[in-house]
Amino acid sequence: MKLAALVLALTAVLWGKSKPIEKNFVFTNVNIIDVRDGSIQPHLTVVIKNGRITGIAPIGLIEESRNTTVVNANGKYLIPGLWDMHVHSAFSDPVWDEKLLYPLYIANGITGIRDMGGVHDVLEQRRQHIEHGDVLGPHIVMGGPFLVGGKSDSQSIAVNTPDEARSAVDSLKKRHVDFIKILSNIPRDSYFAIAEESKKDHLTFVGHVPFSVSMGEASNAGQKSIEHLTGFSLAASSQEGNLREQILKSTATHDRAGYFAASQKASETYDPAKAANLVSLLAKNKTWQVPTLVWTRTQANIPENPPDADSPLKYVPASIRQQWDPRVVAGNTSAEQLAEYKRDADHAPAIVKQMQQAGVYFLAGSDGPDPMVIPGFSLHRELELLVKRVQPPSSLAGRNLKRGALPRS
């Protein structure tokens, strides 16, 4: 039986219509990896009872019975279920059918996802469908609507004043979200109101670092995770104050040229000492990073490297494949934006390596589904990118390390 089919079959059995079925599995002749030192432990037997691993041993002679299924893994690898820690399963347009989307995670060994924002009612309904066994899919933790500056819509709540920010946090707590998600355009005083109210309500808050706040301030304020490395290059610039004012002015007036100019200037004024201090602070405060390297690299390569016939794109619905056509994506991406994606794809791994060496914590997330960031498959690519041994250069001056101007979530 192929691994994907095995994972699907096992998950379907473990998660029944309303609660896990009391059934035991024994995997024999399986390889596992010792995560402490990376060594491979071959020819082991793993016993799973009622959905939990209860034993690992070199030899296991257990007879198959009505309540125990023995699987000869034939030298394959067995790992605990993975989590994709940055997805949007009810955000893309058109929205994926839940019976097509969620099984792709399971087929790739992903048994949990952190949904970073979308239509709350749709997300909650889909989570219930999965937990009740009506849809095969991963466990979902979710933040509900984004908190944003500007105007509210079906997927976001505007927080243009501290009072609006505190009210939004309280309302999301009543809706039983698992965390608060913020975007880049939140006013400074609203941001700190969110931080205070989240602490008061015992909620974790995560997301982008707003333009109005430095990365160090966000870490000190208790933001638990930072997505896409947002805010790093600006905080590491020797001209951080002046450039922050330019970026805030440019974004307020929708001046794209001004924004890109300030962003480029931030990279040109990179200060290694500031960067080192910032990275140390992130490690000290245990501020997790979710780089989503696969997203940027994919967007940078779409126009020039369309997928081949054997790619996982065949699992994507036709209506979405049309929107993901490289010609359509290229037509919707400006030259400035594409150039920034390419710089990010080239240099973000060096930032990750620098952070890793300083002891910063990481979460693996794909930011899919998005053009060619295919659910399930993309997390494995993200994990591959995260473990590449990329040595950080002594100086990153002249390199644009900031996220692109395309609105990210």
- pTM for the model: 0.86
Average pLDDT over residues 197-201: 97
Q: Following CA atoms 248, 254, 260, 263 in sequence, which dihedral angle do they give, to the nearest 10 degrees?
A: 10
Q: 140 phi and psi, to 5 degrees?
A: -125, 130
13 vs 357, more confident: 357
Q: Name the percent of the chain in helix, strand, coil, to the closest 5.
A: 40, 20, 40
pLDDT band of 49, cuts 50, 70, 90? confident
Separation of alpha carbons 130 and 128, rounded Å: 5
Q: What local confidence, expressed as pLDDT, does residue 97 receive?
A: 94
Mean pLDDT of the chain: 86
pLDDT band of 22, cuts 50, 70, 90? low
Q: What local confidence, expressed as pLDDT, does residue 227 receive?
A: 97
Q: Following CA atoms 298, 303, 307, 309 in sequence, which dihedral angle do they give, to the nearest 10 degrees?
A: 170
Residue 109 pLDDT exceeds 90: yes
Using one digit for the tens of pLDDT, what is the confidence trace for 338-387? 888 887 888 798 899 999 999 999 999 999 999 999 999 999 999 999 98
Separation of alpha carbons 387 and 287, rounded Å: 19
Average pLDDT over residues 2-9: 40
Q: Six-digit token pair at 198?
A: 């989240």
Q: Six-digit token pair at 338?
A: 């594409």
Q: What local confidence, expressed as pLDDT, does residue 18 receive?
A: 40
Could you tell me the CATH superfamily of domain 82-387? Metal-dependent hydrolases (3.20.20.140)
Cα Rg of the chain, angstroms: 22
Architecture of domain 3-72: Roll (2.30)
Average pLDDT over residues 227-232: 95
Residue 401 pLDDT exceeds 60: no
Separation of alpha carbons 68 and 301, rounded Å: 47
Residue 31 pLDDT exceeds 50: yes
Using one digit for the tens of pLDDT, what is the confidence trace for 289-331? 999 999 999 998 887 766 666 789 999 998 898 888 888 888 8
Average pLDDT over residues 148-170: 96
Q: Six-digit token pair at 121?
A: 């009612």
10 Å CB burial of residue 117 (0-12, 13-18, 19+) is: buried
34 vs 375, more confident: 375
Nearest to 210 by CA among 250, 244, 179: 244
Using one digit for the tens of pLDDT, what is the confidence trace for 62-107? 666 778 888 999 889 998 899 999 999 998 666 799 999 999 999 9
Separation of alpha carbons 251 and 405, rounded Å: 10
By residue count, the chain amounts to: 409
Average pLDDT over residues 253-280: 91
% pLDDT > 90, the chain: 61
- Pairing outcome for strands 24-33 and 68-72: parallel
What does the domain layout of the chain look like in residue ranges?
3-72, 82-387
Using one digit for the tens of pLDDT, what is the confidence trace for 238-253? 999 999 999 999 999 9
Q: What local confidence, expressed as pLDDT, does residue 37 receive?
A: 84
